[in-house]
C-alpha cells in the first residue's frame, strides 16, 4: 500500500469513526436524559442541557474507542477494497459524510430536548404569560 492508498484509507477510517462517535453521542444523550429525568429540572434549562451534553460526549468518546476497532475490523474488506479513489476524493467523501452525520445528530439532540422540555412543563397559558402587554385602556383603569 503506497502513500496515496494509505491516505485514502485513513480518510475512510476517520469517516467511519466519526459516524460511530456521532451515533453514540445521540444515543448517550437520549439515555442520560431519560435515566435522570426527575433530576434535570432541578437545574436550569441551560445548565441541564450542558450537563447532559457533557455526559453524553464523555460516554460517547469512551465507547467509540472500543467499538470503532471492532467495526473497522468487520468492514475491512468492503470499506477499504476500492483502491481507485484518490485521497482528495476520499477526503471529500469523509467531509460530506461527517457533515451529514453531524446535521442528523444536531437535529436528533434538538428533538430530544424539545420532547424533554415538553414533558417537564406544559406551555404557559396566555393569561399567565409574563410577556403579555395590557392595552392602554386597561392600564389606565388601575
pLDDT in tens, 8-33: 878 888 888 899 999 999 999 999 98
Task: List, for residues 52-108, the tens digit of each pLDDT value.
Answer: 999 999 999 888 887 877 777 777 766 666 667 788 888 888 899 999 999 999 999
pTM equals 0.70
CB burial readout 44-67, b (16+ within 10 A) else e: eeeebbeebbebbeebbeebbeeb
Contacts of 19 (CB under 8 A, 6+ apart): 97, 98, 101
Residue 116 in grid coordinates: 424533554
Euclidean distance between CA atoms 12 and 2, whole angstroms: 16
Count of other CB atoms within 10 angstroms of residue 19: 21
Amino acid at each position: 500500500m503506497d502513500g496515496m492508498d494509505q491516505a485514502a484509507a485513513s480518510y475512510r477510517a476517520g469517516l467511519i469513526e466519526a459516524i460511530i462517535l456521532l451515533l453514540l453521542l445521540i444515543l448517550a444523550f437520549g439515555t442520560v436524559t431519560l435515566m435522570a429525568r426527575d433530576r434535570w429540572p432541578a437545574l436550569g434549562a441551560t445548565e441541564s442541557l450542558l450537563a447532559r451534553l457533557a455526559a453524553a460526549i464523555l460516554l460517547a468518546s469512551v465507547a467509540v474507542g472500543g467499538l470503532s476497532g471492532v467495526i473497522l475490523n468487520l468492514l475491512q474488506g468492503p470499506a477499504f477494497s476500492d483502491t481507485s479513489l484518490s485521497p482528495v476524493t476520499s477526503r471529500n467523501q469523509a467531509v460530506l459524510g461527517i457533515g451529514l452525520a453531524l446535521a442528523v445528530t444536531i437535529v436528533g439532540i434538538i428533538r430530544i430536548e424539545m420532547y424533554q422540555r415538553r414533558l417537564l412543563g406544559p406551555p404557559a397559558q396566555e393569561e399567565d404569560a409574563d410577556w403579555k402587554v395590557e392595552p392602554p385602556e386597561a392600564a389606565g383603569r388601575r
